[in-house]
Amino acid sequence: MKSLGQQIVVDYHKCNPEILNDVAAVKRAMREAALKSGATIVQEAFHLFNPYGVSGVIVIAESHLAIHTWPEFGYAAVDLFTCGDEVDPQIAFDHLKAALEATDFTAMEMKRGILNSAGLTFQSHKPYAGAALVSA
């Protein structure tokens, strides 16, 4: 079954709360996950909440990686959505599990944009030539 994309929706449990509340550490883990999975980073945004918690997104040419953390519960909600065959969201999943020091998780993997019609092909998205890429 051919699809336009793969999405892994993850709940990481029993994570290191100090990491989950460190915006620089979360950003670094997400960037590394994107790059290790073969993604092309286009843009990123991260925010540290008061009193605690981090939200962030890495926009990739192949879709996105997003996270929201609850350090007080040792919990992180993550969405890894990649399009095409060049990026492996499983690599991003494994990297984040280790980086957040999660000892438990639940995950759901989905194929997105199922192509039922014969002859349809996927065109890989890359950044517009005039747009500046975020350096790796």
Q: Which residues does the annotation mark as catalytic?
A: 63, 68, 83
Residue 92: CB partners within 8 Å, gap ≥ 6? 8, 33, 34, 36, 37, 39, 65, 80, 82
Q: Residue holding tokens 């286009």?
A: 42
Of the candidates 24, 18, 6, 3, which has an alpha carbon nearest to the alpha carbon of residue 87? 6
Residue 135: CB partners within 8 Å, gap ≥ 6? none
Look at residue 31 and give its three-state secondary structure. helix
DSSP-assigned letters across all residues of 50-63: SSS-EEEEEEETTE
